[in-house]
Structure 1
Amino acid sequence: MPHDDKIDSGVSVGRSDLSEWRTRAQRFEAEIAKAVVGQERVIRLLTIALFARGHVLLEGDVGVGKTTLLRAAARCVGGAYERIEGTIDLMPGDLIYHTYLAEDGRPRVEEGPVLRAGENLAIFFFNEINRARPQVHSLLLRLMAERSVSAFNREFRFPHLVVFADRNRVEREETFELPAAARDRFLMEIAITTPTDAEARRALAFDPRFHDGDRLIGGLEPNILSYAELNDVGHAIQSEIKTSEALERYVLDLWQAVRNPAAGGIMIPGVDTQRLVAAGASPRGLSYLVRAARVAAWLDGRNMAVPEDVRAVFFETMAHRIFFEPVYEMRREIIARELIDALFETVAVP
């Protein structure tokens, strides 16, 4: 059974194939950048997640391009793209099926967004996930963890599925915070903000091609990454990109320091680091960090991961797995960044 902690592979992908796939990944990033301007780092992180075969939680204000980014990615990946809106009245069954009265007055049952495309489902977008009830989160957790659901007395599998969810940071009414178990299933949490580049801002405001989303997405090259092959490519990347003993010690030192910052000599102004962390990153989180770092190294043309690869993905893969004591939780975003910056300054780099 496919599982987001394992990358299943049925076809061998060699080094020469990985070189060709790197070129395709670069084409993918360039194509996405035509639709989403001023977000180069976000696009790179999205690419890493796709090849690492991990799920992604997007955070950002309304209208910064989260949906456009995912629609563009879905077109360039190929396969089926489905989405659902998180609402207070959404029930778990709404992901699986919906009922209606047909013209003859009889009730009908049709497959919902998760089942509609079957095994061809490549990207599933859960918009405003924090508006959905915990019962819905539970079903989504199984879908993410096992890439399967049970319905109509049978099991449906989605071997190529990557889940993307969006959390609106502005409105807090009628919202439900994601439980720790659900957040830990996301490979990354990626923040998307309004571009700071003046030219990107000008283009978004005045260039007509950004005002028609359907036409913009329709003009992108489709199926660049060929979704049905990504599991095999992801497996090959993890097998081919090596880690040295020195890098492994560095990663373990970072992990220990983030779980017990005071013991690691981490100091943050105005924060008692002895009382800061209630729970540190899980072993699964550490494996996700290494998986993402290997993909980052591959995208940069190296056959061995280096500390810069770890640092490049550390915040997005680890920050949401660090749980602070309640007194610090309200300032999570700022303190998490300060903690990780102090971590990099304190833990020795090999």
Structure 2
Amino acid sequence: MQLTEQQIKSLLAKLPALKTEIQKVIVGQDAILDELLVAFLAGGHCLLEGVPGLAKTLIVKTMSQALQLAFRRIQFTPDLMPTDIIGTEILEEDHATGKRFFKFNKGPLFANIILADEINRTPPKTQSALLEAMQEFEVTYGGQTYPLDKPFFILATQNPIEQAGTYPLPEAQLDRFLLLVKIGYPTEQEEFEVLNRTTGIRNADVQAVISAEEIIQAQALVRQVTINEDLTRYVSQLIRATRPDTSAVSYVKEWVRWGAGPRAGQALILTAKARALLKGRYTVLMEDIHAMAPAVLRHRILMNFRAEAEGINSDKVTEQLIKVVERKGSL
């Protein structure tokens, strides 16, 4: 369905309103909310990392309230099985004929927004059950494939501390997340406001401002945002510069074990388009690429032991590469 100009304007006006509704509950975290909304508009999934008590779960729950979508929370634990999230077959009886048959009972994955809480606390077998859902937007059980409802958005959280008893996500699954978003501590003023808001009797009333159909339309609209050939080539150069075997940058060869693959370039362009649309533009600018590069690349650049020993992380590499690639124009 082709949207009219008036319908597009009406749709775009709801995106800032969506963020405003979320901010009725969430204090600060402006950049974090932008990244989550960008991932949602781009049709991808998000991994949220932060220490306990920084409102990771609350952000997702509030976001679901501002959207007219089904929301489910899955608390990942060491004893969680794949069938606990996908679903299982149960034996039922037809009372009219007396015949028994198996019926698939859908699990919590069959919703629009899934909060996978502390995803690194469950074994790889259960983590891998998410792979098909995240990539193919469907699940398979007993040889039968079941499509998931759209829009479908997985927001997983993990705690960067307390690593005992956890199962780090394999690189293949990390790559399925469009963005890795890191949440830090609030500022002094923001923390003061949090204390004021959360220790009284008043609760913010979050209104749903956008429907599932409108979200699907917005996601289709993201694909129509234009990006010129020079910026596409810049993204290609930036991604290729992260690979130590082909990069001309000395510190990439020194610090990086594995660079980002082609999916990173796709993610960077798509999220840049989504950010442009969120800002009310139909064309990608360099600032969109620079803004999204850290969240796109931080889980796709694998550092070596020397970098870890020196305290060099992938964000630092991305920051330096942005400067070098932009300055030289080609690597």
Q: TM-score, normalised by structure 1?
A: 0.83
Cα separation, 2, equivalents of 1:298 and 1:313: 13
1:220 maps to what in 2?
206
SS in 1 for 2:24: helix
Q: Alpha-carbon deviations, 1:31-80, whole Å to 9, x = none?
A: 11111111100111111111101100000010101111000111112211
Q: Which one-letter code corresponds to 1:252 in the other structure?
A: S
Cα separation, 1, equivalents of 2:267 and 2:15: 20
* Change in 2 beyond 3 A, CA 1:226/1:342: same
Q: Which one-letter code corresponds to 1:165 in the other structure?
A: A
Kindly indicate whether the alpha-carbon contact (under 8 Å) linking 1:266 and 1:343 is maintained by their aligned counterparts in 2: no
SS in 1 for 2:158: strand
2:220 maps to what in 1?
235
2:228 maps to what in 1?
244
Match of 1:345 among 306, 309, 323: 323
Q: Does 1:112 align with 2:107?
A: yes
Match of 1:161 among 152, 160, 165: 152
Q: CA deviation at 1:180?
A: 0.8
Q: Does 1:173 align with 2:151?
A: no
Aligned positions of 1:299-314 closer than 5 A: 299-314=278-293
Q: CA deviation at 1:18?
A: 2.9
SS in 1 for 2:313: helix
Cα separation, 1, equivalents of 2:201 and 2:258: 44
2:124 maps to what in 1?
134
SS in 1 for 2:186: coil
Cα separation, 2, equivalents of 1:263 and 1:285: 16
Kindly indicate whether the alpha-carbon contact (under 8 Å) linking 1:35 and 1:210 is maintained by their aligned counterparts in 2: no
SS in 1 for 2:280: coil
SS in 2 for 1:292: helix
Cα separation, 1, equivalents of 2:26 and 2:140: 36
Aligned positions of 1:3-82 closer than 5 A: 11-82=1-72
Kindly indicate whether the alpha-carbon contact (under 8 Å) linking 2:74 and 2:108 is maintained by their aligned counterparts in 1: yes
Cα separation, 1, equivalents of 2:250 and 2:269: 22
* Change in 2 beyond 3 A, CA 1:209/1:74: farther
User: Deviating runs (4+, > 6 A) in structure 1?
Assistant: 209-212
Match of 1:258 among 236, 242, 248: 242
Cα separation, 1, equivalents of 2:114 and 2:157: 11
Q: Which moved more, 1:29-38 or 1:275-284?
A: 275-284
Kindly indicate whether the alpha-carbon contact (under 8 Å) linking 1:18 and 1:237 is maintained by their aligned counterparts in 2: no
* Change in 2 beyond 3 A, CA 1:97/1:255: closer
Cα separation, 2, equivalents of 1:249 and 1:149: 36
Q: CA deviation at 1:144?
A: 0.3
Q: Which runs of 5+ in 1 are unaligned?
A: 1-10, 101-107, 116-120, 268-272
Kindly indicate whether the alpha-carbon contact (under 8 Å) linking 1:12 and 1:232 is maintained by their aligned counterparts in 2: no
Q: CA deviation at 1:329?
A: 4.5
SS in 1 for 2:155: strand
Q: CA deviation at 1:293?
A: 0.2
Q: Which runs of 5+ in 2 are unaligned?
A: 91-102
* Change in 2 beyond 3 A, CA 1:263/1:84: closer
Kindly indicate whether the alpha-carbon contact (under 8 Å) linking 1:13 and 1:233 is maintained by their aligned counterparts in 2: no
Q: Alpha-carbon deviations, 1:68-108, whole Å to 9, x = none?
A: 100011111221101111111111111133799xxxxxxx9
Kindly indicate whether the alpha-carbon contact (under 8 Å) linking 2:131 and 2:173 is maintained by their aligned counterparts in 1: yes
Q: Alpha-carbon deviations, 1:135-173, whole Å to 9, x = none?
A: 011110111011111236632211321111001112111
1:149 maps to what in 2?
139
Kindly indicate whether the alpha-carbon contact (under 8 Å) linking 1:130 and 1:175 is maintained by their aligned counterparts in 2: yes
Q: CA deviation at 1:308?
A: 0.6
SS in 2 for 1:186: coil
Q: Alpha-carbon deviations, 1:228-254, whole Å to 9, x = none?
A: 332232122211x11112212211221
Q: Which moved more, 1:247-256 or 1:79-88?
A: 247-256
